[in-house]
């Protein structure tokens, strides 16, 4: 791993929060992700299962975490299983966790090899009544490949058909949105690295550069600061491309007079930043571009004020839509009378602002939580309004990452330039 060690107290606390929510005489099993294949003998870069990482900090394949907090023998109340290494594995793949290193990382005292799991699990299952199993139940998930968790669910229910099975997701999706200070610090690190990348490209961009050259500048700065790289496929969208919400081709030349929309973020220690900025290719906004930019910025700031404890995403998005409606009328894009007579189920502003304003952020870029869960201190959200005018080839989105507190929001991207005048100044110094 490129990132610096994380204090194991984070994972000890997370397991404690989890086990407090279990029924009596229960067991929990969390599996790592698989190493996914490409073609021939190639594989994708390994990405750890977010739930397992949240509970253990172990960033390695073939890992299992077994929790049984009421088990009679204290030694087996928390057991971590990691892949047994060998001289051949060390030669071909490099270092793997030793048992001592796994304990130091996770805080779990009992560490065994993964090959020992079934024997220990049989012993645990003889004493427990309820078994909590995991799955990916994200509201936007499209899962077409069978996961390690899914295979385990099948095996477990076949091998132990008479136990009571429970879904782990409702508990995890309730716990993970509330970030501890250690997690907020890791997210801040990801945002700080993202800032370095953005400031680098402000000095680099000029008419004639290609979108992929800009992508390369971001990647260079991210990697040299201990990031694994981009938190998600980067969007480097110039001109009309900025009106394509998930544009990732990044293969066009940036032209004088156009805007570029960047939706990028660095990943650090599996935690993710998610930033969007829009800048002029030539370093100067036109009057029209600046008017639209400042309208988006005003909506952004109003939306931040609505990130308060007790609010919920559906109502929050509805209120942000009203603010956007007003700005679009001011820009001459909507007619006040038409807005007054619109179908409330299909508001007119969605022609120019067709996506949501915010999502949870953390170990997943679109982090887990019910959209009906009330906002609480410790939740981290993006705020990302945008205006997209396809007829004018203008797409502007502004996105920061914010922590809800009891006294307003902490902006993790407060140091990243966002004012139009500051961006112009930095591009022309």
Average pLDDT, the chain: 97
Enumerate the H helices of 27-98 as residue ranges.
50-56, 87-92
Which tens digits make up the pLDDT trace of 121-136? 999 999 999 999 999 9
Confirm whether 397 is a catalytic residue.
Answer: yes
| Structure confidence at residue 140 (pLDDT) | 86
* Fold designation for 181-428: Creatine Amidinohydrolase (3.90.230)
Which tens digits make up the pLDDT trace of 52-86? 999 999 999 999 999 999 999 999 999 999 999 88
Q: Which of 221, 359, 360, 367 is catalytic?
A: 359
Confirm whether 267 is a catalytic residue.
Answer: no
Q: Which of 41, 87, 88, 391 is catalytic?
A: 41
Mutual orientation of helices 313-330 and 287-306 as an angle, nearest 10°? Answer: 150
Confirm whether 95 is a catalytic residue.
Answer: no
- The domain limits of the chain are 9-175, 181-428
Q: Which of 15, 148, 176, 397 is catalytic?
A: 397
Confirm whether 185 is a catalytic residue.
Answer: no
Confirm whether 366 is a catalytic residue.
Answer: yes
Mean pLDDT across 303-320? 97
pTM over 0.85: yes
Which tens digits make up the pLDDT trace of 325-378? 999 999 999 999 999 999 989 999 999 999 999 999 999 999 999 999 999 999
* CB environment 55-88: b (16+ within 10 A), e (fewer): bbbbbbbbbbbbbbbebeeeebbbbbbbbeeeee
| SS3 label, residue 395 | strand
What's the pLDDT band for 410 if we cut at 50, 70, 90?
very high
* Fold designation for 9-175: Creatine Amidinohydrolase; Chain A, domain 1 (3.40.350)
- Residue 98: DSSP 8-state: -
Cα separation, 307 vs 119, in Å, equals 49
Q: Which of 61, 78, 327, 399 is catalytic?
A: 399
Which tens digits make up the pLDDT trace of 219-262? 999 999 999 999 999 999 999 999 999 999 999 999 999 999 99
Confirm whether 130 is a catalytic residue.
Answer: no
CA atoms within 13 A on the CB side of 86: 3
Residue with the two structure tokens 């030669």: 91
Give me the residues paired with residue 157 across strands. none
Confirm whether 384 is a catalytic residue.
Answer: yes
Confirm whether 195 is a catalytic residue.
Answer: no
Confirm whether 360 is a catalytic residue.
Answer: no
Judged against a pLDDT cut of 90, whether residue 396 lies above it is answered with yes
Confirm whether 359 is a catalytic residue.
Answer: yes
Q: Which of 61, 258, 367, 384 is catalytic?
A: 384
- Residue 390: DSSP 8-state: G
Which tens digits make up the pLDDT trace of 205-215? 999 999 999 99
Give the CA diameter of the chain: 75
Confirm whether 220 is a catalytic residue.
Answer: no
Q: How would you classify the pairing of strands 266-268 and 229-230?
A: antiparallel
- Residue 360: DSSP 8-state: B
Cα separation, 235 vs 343, in Å, equals 33
| Structure confidence at residue 143 (pLDDT) | 85
| Structure confidence at residue 160 (pLDDT) | 98
Q: Which of 149, 274, 302, 327 is catalytic?
A: 274
| Structure confidence at residue 348 (pLDDT) | 96
Q: Which of 263, 302, 325, 364 is catalytic?
A: 263
Q: How would you classify the pairing of strands 259-264 and 130-133?
A: unpaired
Q: Which of 88, 246, 345, 391 is catalytic?
A: 246
| Structure confidence at residue 350 (pLDDT) | 97
Judged against a pLDDT cut of 90, whether residue 198 lies above it is answered with yes
């Amino acid at each position: 791993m490129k990132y610096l060690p994380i204090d194991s107290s984070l994972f000890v606390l997370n397991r404690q929060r989890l086990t407090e929510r279990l029924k009596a005489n229960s067991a929990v099993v969390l599996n790592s992700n698989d190493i996914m294949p490409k073609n021939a003998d190639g594989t994708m870069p390994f990405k750890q299962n977010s739930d397992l990482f949240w509970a253990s900090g172990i960033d390695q394949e073939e890992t299992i975490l077994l929790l049984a907090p009421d088990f009679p023998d204290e030694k087996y109340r928390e057991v971590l299983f990691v892949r047994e290494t060998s001289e051949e594995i060390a030669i071909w793949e490099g270092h793997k966790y030793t048992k001592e290193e796994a304990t130091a990382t996770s805080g779990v005292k009992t560490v065994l090899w993964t090959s020992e799991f079934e024997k220990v699990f049989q012993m645990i299952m003889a004493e427990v009544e309820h078994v909590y199993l995991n799955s990916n139940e994200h509201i936007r998930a499209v899962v077409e490949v069978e996961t390690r968790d899914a295979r385990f669910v099948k095996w477990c229910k076949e091998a132990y058909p008479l136990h009571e099975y429970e879904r782990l997701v409702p508990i995890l999706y309730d716990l993970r949105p509330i970030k501890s200070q250690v997690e907020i610090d890791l997210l801040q690190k990801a945002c700080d690295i993202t800032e370095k990348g953005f400031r680098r490209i402000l000095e680099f961009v000029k008419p004639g550069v290609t979108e992929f050259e800009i992508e390369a500048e971001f990647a260079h700065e991210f990697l040299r600061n201990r990031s694994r790289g981009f938190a998600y496929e980067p969007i480097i969208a110039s001109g009309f491309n900025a009106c394509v919400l998930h544009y990732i081709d990044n293969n066009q030349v940036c032209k004088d007079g156009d805007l570029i929309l960047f939706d990028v973020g660095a990943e650090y220690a599996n935690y993710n930043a998610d930033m969007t900025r829009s800048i002029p290719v030539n370093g100067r906004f036109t009057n029209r571009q600046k008017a639209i930019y400042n309208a988006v910025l005003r909506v952004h700031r109003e939306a931040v004020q609505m990130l308060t404890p007790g609010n919920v995403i559906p109502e929050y998005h509805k209120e942000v839509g009203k603010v956007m409606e007003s700005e679009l009328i001011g820009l001459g894009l909507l007619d006040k009378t038409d807005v007054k007579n619109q179908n409330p189920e299909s508001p007119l502003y969605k022609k120019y602002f067709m996506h949501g304003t915010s999502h949870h952020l953390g170990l997943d870029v679109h982090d887990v939580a019910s959209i009906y869960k009330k906002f609480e201190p410790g939740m981290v959200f993006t705020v990302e309004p945008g205006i997209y005018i396809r007829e004018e080839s203008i797409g502007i989105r502004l996105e920061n990452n914010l922590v809800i507190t009891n006294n307003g929001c902490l902006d993790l991207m407060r140091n990243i330039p966002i004012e139009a005048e500051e961006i112009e100044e930095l591009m022309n110094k």
